[in-house]
Structure 1
Amino acid sequence: MAYARVSSTDQNLDRQLIELKKYVPESNIVVDKISGKTLHRPGYEALKGALGLRSGDTLVIKSLDRLSRNKADIKKELEWFKSNHIRLMILDLPTTMVQVPDNQEWILDMLNNILIEVLSSMAEQERLLIHSRQKEGIAAAKLQGKHLGRPKMQFPNDWEHYYTLWKNHDITAKKAMQSMNLSSSSFYKLAKQFQNTV
């Protein structure tokens, strides 16, 4: 079996199909035209489903990013193939294309383990880099006086008038909410916020 993917319906699969057809018949190539950001893709899920790949099968792909764009997801998928005894041949990684004698399968396991280990390190580095950039971005925004997170609720123009009437028991909370067009949760949130400032 083989698998080909492009990110959108207007992209062309031809280049991948030309390469994959050197190894499997076109009828055995499963395709998806959907982003690699998600693993929930019809063709790919069918490959991994009950009627798809079985122990001892081989799956051919053009490159690792056809599985996913996310290194942590790629690692998880490689581990799934390994645990289900499915060989993955990646055209852009010649070491995965090596043919070994029947009693030398341990070589393929070793190559697969190395690939998983390398991807684990890369995924962790990517995660740390994203986290570091987020922290730097938050620090820079705070230095510029930018408010992060949800914007603070704004008090209606007539807030003090209706709030005072409510506090003095001249009107009900419901009447105050209706007058200012506020939901119950917004009204009490603003009331709490207001009490903390007076």
Structure 2
Amino acid sequence: MNNQIYGYVRVSTKDQNEERQVIAMKNFGLLADRIVIDKQSGKDFNRPGYKKLLKKLKPDDTLVLKSIDRLGRNYEEILEQWRIITKEKCAAIVVLDMPLLDTRKEKDLTGVLISDIVLQLLSYVAQTERERIRQRQAEGIAAAKARGVKFGPPQLEMPKEFFNLKKQWKEGKISARKAGKILNISYQTFLRRAKQ
């Protein structure tokens, strides 16, 4: 059987567009049915498309990536997956954005050393970028909360009767369930708003 060439494309969320990576794969000569796409974070390798692709890889097959961070963003795991693909599976890897990371070529000891150093450096950069993104998100959320920005769905506007029913509930004259029914809201919503 002929050696196969597969492309692996990953975007972090369902909203992100994978088209740029897919175009790069097609320009490399890959057919659409040879491109595997995951829409999932690169924090680990528990991704359905990647797992299936890894099982398919045979010796002398080739895995094409647009950039190393599309493989993942965890330094240790990128190095481990690289080892599994190139050593255990005996398949080749081509990273389009980094020609030094092309294991198809016969390399002398110096070439292997250089590609190992580049791989480690790029893996480190990918994980560092992921950590920076998470830090920026946390800082942005904290700053928004400090400004009074509320997260989650907007609160329902309570009818005028709410305040009277809240008073009755606090005095033990009415149950939360009955108050919720009167207001046409769930008793959990009534309780949450009454306790605010």
TM-score norm. by structure 1 comes to: 0.61
Q: Distance in 2 between matches of 1:60 and 1:89?
A: 5
Q: Which residue of 2 aligns with 1:179?
A: 182
> 1:1-198 counterparts in 2 under 5 A?
1-4=4-7, 7=18, 14-17=26-29, 31-32=34-35, 34=37, 37=40, 39-41=47-49, 45-49=51-55, 52-54=56-58, 56-61=59-64, 63-64=66-67, 68=70, 70-72=72-74, 75=78, 77-82=81-86, 84-90=88-94, 92=96, 93-94=99-100, 96=102, 97-100=104-107, 108=112, 110=113, 113-138=116-141, 140-142=143-145, 145-150=147-152, 153-154=155-156, 156=158, 157-193=160-196
CA shift in 2, pair 1:189/1:179, >3 Å: same
Structure 1 position 2, deviation (Å): 0.9
Further displaced range: 175-184 or 153-162: 153-162
Structure 1 position 125, deviation (Å): 2.0
Q: Distance in 1 between matches of 2:101 and 2:174?
A: 78
Cα offsets for 1:138-175 (capped at 9, x unmatched):
354356x2324336745623212112233344433322
Larger Rg: 1
Q: Which residue of 1 aligns with 2:44?
A: none
CA shift in 2, pair 1:146/1:80, >3 Å: farther
Cα offsets for 1:87-138 (capped at 9, x unmatched):
424163145343147xx6x964x45643442133112320232134224423
Q: Verify the 8 A CA contact 1:3 1:61 in the aligned structure 2.
A: yes
Cα offsets for 1:52-93 (capped at 9, x unmatched):
224x4341526436x826433982642431452424241631
Unmatched 5+ residue regions in structure 1?
A: 21-25, 194-198
Q: Verify the 8 A CA contact 2:176 2:191 in the aligned structure 1.
A: no
CA RMSD, aligned part only? Answer: 3.9
CA shift in 2, pair 1:45/1:187, >3 Å: same
Q: Verify the 8 A CA contact 1:177 1:184 in the aligned structure 2.
A: yes
Unmatched 5+ residue regions in structure 2?
A: 10-17, 42-46
Residues paired across the two proteins, number? 171
Identical counterparts, % of pairs: 22
1:3 counterpart SS class? strand
Q: Which has the higher contact order (CA 8 A, sep 6+)?
A: 2
